[in-house]
Structure 1
Amino acid sequence: MSSFEGHIVVERQRAMWNWWASLAARPWAPSLALLALCLAVYLPGVVRLPAVDRTEIIYAETTRGMVERGDWTDPRYGSVVHQYRPIGTFWAQGAARWLAGEAFARDITVYRIPSLLAVTLAVLALFWLGRGLVGAETALIAAALFAVSPLTVLVSQLAIAEGLSLLPATVAMVALARIYTKPDEPLSLALLFWIALGFGILINALLVPILIVATLIALYVMDRDLTWLKRLRPFMGLPIALAIGAWWLIIRSHQDGTPFAGMDWRAFLGALGGAQDMKLRAFPGTFVLAVVLGFLPGTVLIGTAFKRFWDSREQALSRFLLAWVLGYIAYLELLSSKPGTYMVQTMFPALALGVAIVVTNESGLGKRPPWSFFTIWPTYFAALPLVVFAGVYLFTGEVPGLIPAVLIAIIAVLFIWSGRLGWEGQLRRWAAIGVAALALFAVTLLGIVLPSIDRIWPAREIAKAIAKCPAQNAALIGFREPSGRFVLGIPFEQQMPEALAQAVEEKIPTLSIIEDRWRKRTNWTLQSKSQPPLPPPTGCVTAYNVMRGCPLHFRIYSPNPAQPCAVPAAFVCPENTPQTGPEKSGDCD
């Protein structure tokens, strides 16, 4: 093919897929398109995914209790004070719960709404503010890639602080990038930076400040200049940020007398770094791996983007994007004890901008981008979604139904198609098909497949089994995950055999749900109180504790065996169910 013919083909391809530019050029169309994309991708999982143990439910149950008590300055999970979880997240979830009303107090969807809104606004903010950095078309592609990245979708689905903090992190960092790269940016942009910083502290402690400081350190290493920081108007902006974020410390003082009183040094550092803690140090490379797997489809062009920006690091924008990613990933790998799945999303706007720049600058037929994953044969791209879905079904022992099977096949085809487009160098088309592939992947996995697998949601299964039992005192023994408290309304003090024995002794009618591992101990406890052993069960529930990785077998005992509560046919115990027997080994509660 001659260079002239190649140029004609490229121009035809651009004309065929110039709707990225056409859409970006219209006043409201790109914002509405991104809003529709976010709602279509996020809503199915937000609405259909059951409450996910454990962090999400701890947030939701804490908020529910705070609103129920009417004390908005004292978020507690039972008797536990959340010293390391800033108040802003509880306030946002509490507002959603208050607006929804008491009837929805135990509906996890209500507590996820702030995360859904914050992540959606973060996607829109990347487009709105990114236009001033890279142009409307590139910013639109970046926002779409950011929106459908698996780990972005994840935090939009869960009632945790990381979803909410993604908005102030994105606003603060893109505003900072514009101030760094363009000396003539208006004062309003500096004010926006400080406001976002303040809300970031209110929502998730020092996560956003740490992101900013890590980026500034990396920038200083590259250009040895911090004089541009005066364009932030710190003497005017810092008090604004502190006025917003200081509520976190005010609440801590209200609860503790002295903020963070009683915390050791490691716990204190963990509290400053955000709301998540992994207890154990992650192995080296955890956060890099989270970026690689969690930033699809943009992952395939990360290498290309880094190579381009490293070669052009004399340009201000290239330096800033490199510093944003390298500075923060260094902090995470060296110091953070947080889960990679929740912490790397704040780098995704930078990665999305970098990949989008490659897409708009280097799209051309027959020219595969160097340093990309497009050197892999396109058919192999289908392995990514197929491995995920196969793993889910093999783990649970389920067989996909017709609709999920068809959707999984379509997703595999879209992955292959996007790989083929990248192989051919048609990057604008790759971006469009890649966004569609990841969007359908998220909807299918989180909105259809996982919610339909009953056995991985123990609390939901128990709730279905006892739905027709009369409202009464209940005991749940052998399953102490937070979902037992939030979904079923059974407090921890009702989750031990001693509590059941006490209730029986005081002649309080108690519906008992007991896991097989705890049945013998429960009988011993009842007999120690001179009470009869457990009667024959009226229902049985088989489930799986994903948090601990072990099967669960519950039996339901009515307080009055002569008039057992009715359970659906699916939960009727098999005939000749043994009432005694050896305890199963392992601790799965």
Structure 2
Amino acid sequence: MEASAQMLQSGNFVDVRFQDQPRYLQPAGIYWLEAAAVAATGTLEHRQVWGWRIPSLIAVVGATLLTASIGASLFGPAAGLFAALLLSVSVLMTAEGRMATIDSTLLLSILLVEFALLRTWRGRHDAQPAPAWVAALYWVALGCGLMLKGPVVLIPGFGTPLALALTERRFSWLRRLRPAWGVPLMLVIVLPWCIAIWLVSHGSFFSRAVGTNFLGKVASGQQAHGLPPGYHLLVFAIAFWPGSLFAACAIPFAWARRRQDAVRFLLCWIIPHWVVFELIATKLPHYVLPTYPAIAILTAAALVAPEGWAPPRRIVGRILLAIYGLVWLLVGIGIAGAGPVLLWRLQHVVSPVAGFVSLLAIALVLASAWLLWPLREPRRALGFAAAAALMTYASLFIVVLPALRTIWLSPRIAAMVAAVRPCPDSVLASTSFSEPSLVFLVGKDTRLIGAAEAADLLAQDRRCAMALVGSRDLAAFQARLSADGIAARQLGRLDGVNYSTGRHLDLTLFKTRP
């Protein structure tokens, strides 16, 4: 968000920067989208966060509609509706749709790719190539995905058609995508910016974004996210909740019909992407988000099929499903009851509204489990589970999270700085709290530095500079001030929890005494 804001302020739409440092993690696509949304809504000056989140909102709406469309074309309108419901109420989709990040927009690009692939593949027995607009959609969506997150879009974009061709031992249908002019069309979208950033950064962007950020995640876990294979399968119970148990129940349906065209297409969508990201060393839950629409469609197909909701035939399968059902139930109760617990643990506040909603949501989860086992009324069970999810999300976003002042450190710091700022252009140095949100709300000149450097800044600008120092850095900060012969006075103090690290922070704002 701060990089997008600086892009607007500087007018430099090629070289993405955070403060004075290049931000060479991914191409400029998401920054362009956020900058356009902010410019259109006029939310830049007062840092109104909702403006930056508009691309994600549009993307999740589009992704949900495309999921419904693909599901309806494969298994009928009811399956499309259930698939859209399963995707839209999932925990991960709900979270991603409310954050100013890349992943929702990338998901929309991938769904457009899969939509075009499906239209092309279903007509593979025709002698004629796919309609020009379908082929153009495929290559344009790939180009847009490349501008959002680089080569990641090629994993499903090329993985799905390759898996389909291998399973059928038939590659000739790939010519229907018209690569002769499709590949140049994709490159027209990507190359102008690639050439520009190559010249501006002298090649540094590609060495960092591709060599360090992308390929580095393959070989080793970056940012403490290195985990063994199987991580995404374990996290799926939470990330796709409440649909995770329904998806597990649909496995026998998918396996029995794996050679049917519709199921084959979805499996070739899911498996290559999932396997790649299970093998990559760095793992985060949203890496497999592009497979969730296909999983939702397969699950919905089992829901609407006359005999699609049959229990596993073997006793081992039934035992595993029962264990997974218990995990699902505990996860659901935990999610439904999280709001009041967080309010009490972090704020020592009891919210009757949040408590009532949680109790009702837990009752719905229990009712859903009762209806689902032993696979009696899965559609009604999904209705109860989706209602529980919607009530829980409404309570969290409307009641609980706004009341958790202890975790909103950056807004509170920004308000404190604005109230006591000695000069209009005062620079803040922060030693113990270095989240980008602080730079976003206080100003791009905010310094995220050590205790000694913060003391030196006060010595250099005794009239206007301020320093925000945590209790852990206080001794080093005061020792450096004493060495410089400077006395500081306290302007304010606050404490809270940095939710990025889980640490409790006690922060004091200083400036030099006259």
Q: Give TM class, smaller chain.
A: 0.7 to 0.9
For 2:346, give the aligned amino acid: T
SS of aligned partner of 1:553: strand
Give the aligned partner of residue 38 of structure 2.
97
SS of aligned partner of 2:262: helix
Shift in Å, 1:105: 5.1
Q: Distance in 2 between matches of 1:377 and 1:162?
A: 28
- Cα gap change, 1:131 to 1:441, in 2 (>3 Å): same
Q: Distance in 2 between matches of 1:398 and 1:362?
A: 51
Does 2:342 align with 1:387? no
- Cα gap change, 1:115 to 1:233, in 2 (>3 Å): same
- Cα gap change, 1:363 to 1:437, in 2 (>3 Å): farther
Shift in Å, 1:224: 2.2
Whether the 8 Å CA contact 2:459–2:484 is kept in 1: the answer is: no
Whether the 8 Å CA contact 2:247–2:295 is kept in 1: the answer is: yes
Q: Distance in 1 between matches of 2:107 and 2:210?
A: 27
Shift in Å, 1:169: 0.8
SS of aligned partner of 1:542: strand
- Cα gap change, 1:257 to 1:283, in 2 (>3 Å): same
Shift in Å, 1:338: 4.3
Give the aligned partner of residue 240 of structure 2.
295
SS of aligned partner of 1:468: helix
Give the aligned partner of residue 12 of structure 1.
none
Q: Distance in 1 between matches of 2:131 and 2:75?
A: 17
Give the aligned partner of residue 5 of structure 2.
64
- Cα gap change, 1:495 to 1:258, in 2 (>3 Å): closer
For 1:541, give the aligned amino acid: L
Q: TM-score, normalised by structure 2?
A: 0.87
Q: More deviation in 448-457 or 151-160?
A: 448-457
Alignment of 1:174-323 (within 5 A): 174-183=115-124, 186-258=131-203, 260=205, 262-263=207-208, 266-267=211-212, 269-270=214-215, 278=223, 280-323=225-268
Whether the 8 Å CA contact 2:333–2:362 is kept in 1: the answer is: yes
Q: Distance in 2 between matches of 1:138 and 1:254?
A: 49
Give the aligned partner of residue 492 of structure 2.
539
Does 2:20 align with 1:79? yes
Whether the 8 Å CA contact 2:143–2:189 is kept in 1: the answer is: yes
For 1:452, give the aligned amino acid: A
Percent identity between the two aligned chains: 26
Q: Distance in 2 between matches of 1:209 and 1:264?
A: 16
- Cα gap change, 1:132 to 1:545, in 2 (>3 Å): same
Alignment of 1:114-153 (within 5 A): 114-153=55-94
SS of aligned partner of 2:438: helix
SS of aligned partner of 1:544: strand
Q: Distance in 1 between matches of 2:323 and 2:227?
A: 30
SS of aligned partner of 1:357: helix
Q: Distance in 2 between matches of 1:265 and 1:122?
A: 27
Shift in Å, 1:491: 3.5
Shift in Å, 1:522: 1.6
Shift in Å, 1:203: 1.3
Which of 382, 390, 405 is the matching residue for 2:355?
405
SS of aligned partner of 1:523: helix
Which of 170, 175, 192 is the matching residue for 2:111?
170
Whether the 8 Å CA contact 1:125–1:170 is kept in 2: the answer is: yes
Shift in Å, 1:232: 1.6
SS of aligned partner of 2:505: strand
Residue ranges of structure 2 left out of the alignment (5+ in a row): none
Give the aligned partner of residue 483 of structure 2.
528
Shift in Å, 1:61: 0.9
Higher relative contact order (CA 8 A, sep 6+): 1
Give the aligned partner of residue 569 of structure 1.
none
Whether the 8 Å CA contact 2:79–2:300 is kept in 1: the answer is: yes
Alignment of 1:344-423 (within 5 A): 344-362=288-306, 369-370=311-312, 375=322, 383-388=330-335, 389-390=337-338, 392=342, 396=346, 398-423=348-373
Q: Distance in 2 between matches of 1:494 and 1:380?
A: 42
Shift in Å, 1:122: 1.0
Q: Distance in 1 between matches of 2:383 and 2:455?
A: 58
Which of 460, 472, 475 is the matching residue for 1:517?
472
SS of aligned partner of 2:97: helix
Q: Distance in 2 between matches of 1:443 and 1:102?
A: 25
Whether the 8 Å CA contact 1:200–1:245 is kept in 2: the answer is: no
Shift in Å, 1:336: 5.3
Q: Distance in 2 between matches of 1:293 and 1:349?
A: 16
- Cα gap change, 1:261 to 1:412, in 2 (>3 Å): closer
Shift in Å, 1:331: 0.4
Whether the 8 Å CA contact 2:92–2:286 is kept in 1: the answer is: yes
Give the aligned partner of residue 31 of structure 1.
none
Q: More deviation in 77-86 or 375-384?
A: 375-384
Q: More deviation in 387-396 or 167-176?
A: 387-396
For 2:333, give the aligned amino acid: L
Q: Distance in 2 between matches of 1:523 and 1:490?
A: 26
Q: Distance in 2 between matches of 1:165 and 1:494?
A: 31
Shift in Å, 1:288: 1.6
Shift in Å, 1:85: 1.2
SS of aligned partner of 1:556: strand
Q: What is the aligned residue count?
A: 495
Q: TM-score, normalised by structure 1?
A: 0.76
Residue ranges of structure 1 left out of the alignment (5+ in a row): 1-59, 562-589
Give the aligned partner of residue 434 of structure 1.
385
Q: Distance in 1 between matches of 2:299 and 2:164?
A: 20
Shift in Å, 1:406: 1.1
